Amino acid sequence: MSRAAALDVLYVDNHVLAVCKPAGLPIVPDSSGDASLLEQARDWIGAEFSKPGKVFLGVVHRLDRPVSGVVVFGRTSKGAARLSKAFAERGTTKVYWGVVAKPPSEESGSIEQHLWKDTERNRVHVVSPTQDGARSASTNWRLLEERGRALLELIPETGRSHQLRVACATLGSPLLGDLRYGADRPLEDRSIALHAYSLTVPHPTRDVDLVIRTPPPDLDVWSFDTVRKARQLGSRAAEVER
């Protein structure tokens, strides 16, 4: 299968491309040498719009490699700059779904903490706000469903590295498959049970918000009624006037 054929496109116009990233695929090329989502997306744009040469795509946000879900790129330098600004200034709304082995002790809440990333070990720690390099992180969460394990909705107010993974561990409910933050065993496909379900971003050139949703992958770990209903609706992209 070609890189272009493998791309799951959710929305495209002159300035924006939104796709569904599968778990295990890096967004940009890394030391592994594996194909990246950026390369797949460039190949798709080149084939779809008959563009010769190297296609421009701006990376404006990221998902961890073992996480799946909605990712947007800027198709023009103006689009990329304005999308990047929206992410930096918290002008976006991100909704994630995560699966944990046991539900938290409460049904909803908000987690405020300060995080510091050990870049050598690629691990994030909860630290004192006075520690050098500490960055504030805010996460809202609620329990969606229980079926032996639990499905959580996670809405980050900030965009820190590994923020949701640490938040779940802080709740005493690490994400399934997330060995780095307390899971007891890996998932079969080496993903972690975290999916970027919905993303709302301001369109870079029009006075509308783009609301893009895509359901989690069809795997046993995601066997919940909530997820089944989302799959029935399928992937959706809507333009909403502000």
- Active-site residue set: 64
The number of C-alpha atoms within 13 Å of 176 and in the hemisphere containing its C-beta is: 21
Give the Cα separation of 171 and 183 in Å (integer).
Answer: 13
**Paired tokens of 82:** 């304005």
Find the helix or strand (DSSP H, E) in which 74 lies: strand 68-74
The Cα 28–Cα 15 span in angstroms is 19
CA distances from 4 to 7, 27, 122, 235 (A): 6, 14, 30, 19
